Amino acid sequence: MRKIIVAVVLIGIFFYLGLSVYSVRTFGDPMGATYVGMHILKDAIGRTHASNIVTSIVFGYRGYDTLGEATIFFVAVLGFYWTISRMKGGKKSDHSS
């Protein structure tokens, strides 16, 4: 049963990767990244009401991404602190002489 589940998951992953590669647009396609970038630059300040384009993109369009990155960084710092604090205390042994 486990082999069947693994096989189905792997087939699904390869199918998804195949669709992803197939749907990549060619360089210079007007409906690609350049089109999206120009649309964002044109409408960024009006839609987000920010003072400049960089701020509007970071907080208006990439707000959730920025929040996710900050959360990952915070968890990494906590993990590092926890690891260092565990190492600093040393390991206690049950050996008695």
Model confidence band, residue 45 (pLDDT cutoffs 50, 70, 90): confident
**pLDDT of 19 strictly over 80:** yes
- Give 17 or 94, the one with higher predicted confidence: 17
The token pair at 35 is: 């089109």
- What does the alpha-carbon distance between residue 57 and residue 61 come to, in Å, rounded to a whole number? 5
- What does the alpha-carbon distance between residue 96 and residue 81 come to, in Å, rounded to a whole number? 31
For residue 60, what pLDDT is reported?
74
48-70 per-position pLDDT tens digit: 787 888 888 777 777 778 888 99
Q: Is the pTM of this model over 0.85?
A: no
